[in-house]
């Protein structure tokens, strides 16, 4: 069932007949319809989604435009869907050939000229019904367009079938675009036209002549960079393409995030692979952290034009107490008499090895550094300071881990240092992983490990609420249920499968519908004195949904009767 659900969601594998899904919901009925023009006071656009398919115009159930070029009808679904099928009902009483050549399209913007075509109505008859396959194309808008010559457009009903896209990085309606507060720069000016700040002016018309789009020279690489003035966990970057011409120039552009002004040091979030005039590209950054966001055309000389860039994320608030300073440091080996492990927790961050402030191991496999915090902590953030004077790439691939054992191979990985530069500072999120030990490990090949400072932030675990080393997780033997299913995803048993990855697409997390209240319930099959409940939150997105959740215990299946 998991495979089938994925095929449906992403539009892969619609090789069989394009038919209305059995039991499918016509999502057109909930949308807002508009058309290119009115026809006197007749044929309003909403008549195509009124549920009536008589096909007789005088029954007041069909739309009608003027003799436009092009004539179009557009449906706003209010949010993005993966569209599988669109069914178009033709007029029965006359004029059926007017619909010949009409294109069914799907897009992200209200401009129907930017929509991607699903198919064309090529042959008609009175009252003909046309089923057009959209193969999971994504968009908020569905349109029917007569593109080539002046013609009246009449639709006697339009049905739309699809599923709401589950995107971990689509901004919420009230999300704040943090790009507007930043400082923009680019690789070069293009005369006096297209300065970099035009990508954050709040205007997304897409027409260069309106003075709302940036423009570089034919650089190699061409780039645009935004300084957010503070470090953020970036969830989403939205890039608005040019509408009037030249949309393919943006093809291959990479969206990146980093803590250095040097865009070549930034970590890639994603690539713009397909463009169209006025296309809008939503790039998921999965909470990558940095002060700078960049858009880069890396491979060949090309002009870079951006008609708007929106950035969404949360500012990283520095914790107050660095608990690393109270720990005991060790490492895999000494390097002569230099670079003792305690130098990573001496409070000095110069990054120059000869200042005696950096650790150094031998060329071990693996090389590691370990800190004993002397008690168990919920570790939120680990900050690693790289060497400044040379050899910064040695730290590439280093893993930050947390565990309760001195054996670093037993620790759980928080994150990996993927890109370095001289003096780079790496903030790794550990999402409250619990342990007495924090380690930094170079796992894959012989290499020296040098750390010029390590800071650790977290909260001590209350001893009476920490499971003993030999404690048994009794949840694994229970039976799980929840308030509702979410399509075919996120079954309640996934919360007790022993897998804690936190990535929803790994099929390890539960998911309910938008219930009030939403709940998850575990039947333990017998009565227990419950000491501790440990809840693991989602890692890839949406962690705030769990805020305010109550853990309760009771003897009744009714969760409202449980004690908090």
If you compute the radius of gyration of the chain from its CA atoms, what whole number of angstroms results?
Answer: 29
Strand partners, 83: 137, 162
Residue 10: pLDDT band (50, 70, 90) is very low
Region of 467 on the Ramachandran plot (φ > 0 left; ψ -120 to 50 alpha; else beta) = beta
Q: For position 16, what pLDDT does the model report? A: 35
- What is the DSSP annotation of 525-560? SS---------PPPSSS-GGGGTT----B-SSS-GG
DSSP 395: G
Q: What residues contact 232, with CB distance under 8 A and at least 6 apart? A: 178, 289, 290, 291, 311, 313, 314, 315, 316
pLDDT at residue 424 in the model: 86
When pLDDT is averaged across residues 531-548 and rounded to a whole number, the result is 89
Percent of all residues in the chain with a pLDDT value above 70, rounded to a whole number = 94
- Alpha helices by DSSP H, listed for 198-320, are none
Name the pairing type of β-strands 308-315 and 222-240: antiparallel
d(CA 257, CA 292): 6
Statement: residue 237 has pLDDT above 80: yes
Q: How confident is the model at residue 168, as a pLDDT?
A: 58
Torsion of CA 27, 33, 36, 41, to 10 degrees: 140
Q: pLDDT band for position 466 (50/70/90)?
A: low
Q: What is the C-alpha separation between 89 and 141, in angstroms, rounded?
A: 19
Q: DSSP characters for 319-365?
A: PS--GGGGSEEEES--BTTB--GGGGGSS-----GGGT------SBT
Phi, psi of 447 (to 5 degrees): -165, 145
pTM of model > 0.75 = no
Of the candidates 169, 168, 106, the one whose C-alpha atom is nearest the C-alpha of residue 143 is 106
pLDDT tens digits for range 347-368: 998 889 999 999 999 999 999 9
Alpha carbon distance 496, 187 (integer Å): 51
How high is the pLDDT of residue 4?
27
Q: Residue 416 — left, alpha, or beta (φ > 0 → left; ψ -120 to 50 → alpha)?
A: beta
Question: CB count, 10 Å around CB of 245?
Answer: 11
pLDDT (0 to 100) of residue 154:
97
At residue 438's C-alpha, the angle toward residues 433 and 440, to 5°, is 115
Kindly tell me if the per-residue pLDDT of 469 is higher than 70.
no
Mean pLDDT of 473-491: 91
Give per-residue pLDDT as tens, 28-77: 999 999 999 999 889 999 999 999 999 999 999 999 999 999 999 999 99
Residue 92's region, left for phi above 0, alpha for psi from -120 to 50, else beta, is alpha
Give the chain's mean pLDDT. 89
Spatial contact of 128 and 114, defined as CB atoms under 8 Å apart: no
Query: What domains can you pick out in the chain, each with its CATH number?
Result: 2-164 (2.60.120.260), 178-315 (2.60.120.260), 323-465 (2.60.120.260), 469-564 (2.60.120.260)
pLDDT band at 425 (very low <50, low <70, confident <90, very high): confident
* Tens-digit pLDDT profile for residues 273-325: 878 778 788 898 877 888 999 999 998 899 999 999 999 998 876 656 899 99
Instruction: State the pLDDT at residue 166.
Output: 58
């Amino acid at each position: 069932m998991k495979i089938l659900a994925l095929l449906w969601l992403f539009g892969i594998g619609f090789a069989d007949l394009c038919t209305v899904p059995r039991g499918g919901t016509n999502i057109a009925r909930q949308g807002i319809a508009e058309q290119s023009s009115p026809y006197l006071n007749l044929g309003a656009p909403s008549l195509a989604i009124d549920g009536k398919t008589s096909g007789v115009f005088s029954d007041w159930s069909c739309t009608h435009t003027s003799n436009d070029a092009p004539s179009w009808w557009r449906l706003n679904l209010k949010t993005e869907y993966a569209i599988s099928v669109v069914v178009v009902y033709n007029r029965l009483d006359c004029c059926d050939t007017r619909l010949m050549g009409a294109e069914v399209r799907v897009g992200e913007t209200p401009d129907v000229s930017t929509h991607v075509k699903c198919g064309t109505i090529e042959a008609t008859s009175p009252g003909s019904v046309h089923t057009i396959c959209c193969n999971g194309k994504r968009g908020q808008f569905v349109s029917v367009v007569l593109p080539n010559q002046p013609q009246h457009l009449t639709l006697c009903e339009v049905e739309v079938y699809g599923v709401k896209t589950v995107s971990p990085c689509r901004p919420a309606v009230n999300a704040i675009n943090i790009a507007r507060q930043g400082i923009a720069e680019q690789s070069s000016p293009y005369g006096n036209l297209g300065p970099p700040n035009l990508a954050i002016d709040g205007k997304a018309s897409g027409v260069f002549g309106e003075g709302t789009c940036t423009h570089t020279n034919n650089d190699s690489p061409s780039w645009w960079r935004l300084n957010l003035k503070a470090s953020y966990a970036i969830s989403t970057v939205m890039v608005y393409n040019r509408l009037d011409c030249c949309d393919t120039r943006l093809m291959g552009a990479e969206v990146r995030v980093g803590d250095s002004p040097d865009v070549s040091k930034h970590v890639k979030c994603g690539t713009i692979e397909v463009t169209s005039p006025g296309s809008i590209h939503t790039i998921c950054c999965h909470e990558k952290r940095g002060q700078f966001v960049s858009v880069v055309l890396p491979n060949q000389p090309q002009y870079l034009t951006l008609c708007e860039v929106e950035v969404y994320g949360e500012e990283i608030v520095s914790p107050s107490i660095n608990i690393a300073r109270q720990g005991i440091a060790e490492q895999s080996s000494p390097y002569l008499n230099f670079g003792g492990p305690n130098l990573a927790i001496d409070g000095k961050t110069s990054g120059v090895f000869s200042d005696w402030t950096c650790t150094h191991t031998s060329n071990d496999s693996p090389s590691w550094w370990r800190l004993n915090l002397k008690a168990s902590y919920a570790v939120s953030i680990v900050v690693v300071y790289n060497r400044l004077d040379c050899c910064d790439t040695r730290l590439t691939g280093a893993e930050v881990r947390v565990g309760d054992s001195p054996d670093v191979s037993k620790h759980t990985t928080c994150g990996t240092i993927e890109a370095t530069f001289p003096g780079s500072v790496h903030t790794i999120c550990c999402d409250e992983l619990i342990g007495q030990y924090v380690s930094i490990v170079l796992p894959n090949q012989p290499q020296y490990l040098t750390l010029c400072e390590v800071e650790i932030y977290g909260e001590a675990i209350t001893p009476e609420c920490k499971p003993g080393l030999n404690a048994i997780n009794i949840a694994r033997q229970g039976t799980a249920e929840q308030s509702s299913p979410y399509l075919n995803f996120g079954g309640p048993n996934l919360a007790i499968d022993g897998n804690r990855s936190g990535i929803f697409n790994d099929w390890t997390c539960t998911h309910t519908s938008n219930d009030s209240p939403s709940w998850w319930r575990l039947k333990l099959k017998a009565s227990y004195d419950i000491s501790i409940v440990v809840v693991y939150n989602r890692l890839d997105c949406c962690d705030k949904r769990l805020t305010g959740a109550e853990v309760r215990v009771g003897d009744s299946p009714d969760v409202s009767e449980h004690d908090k």
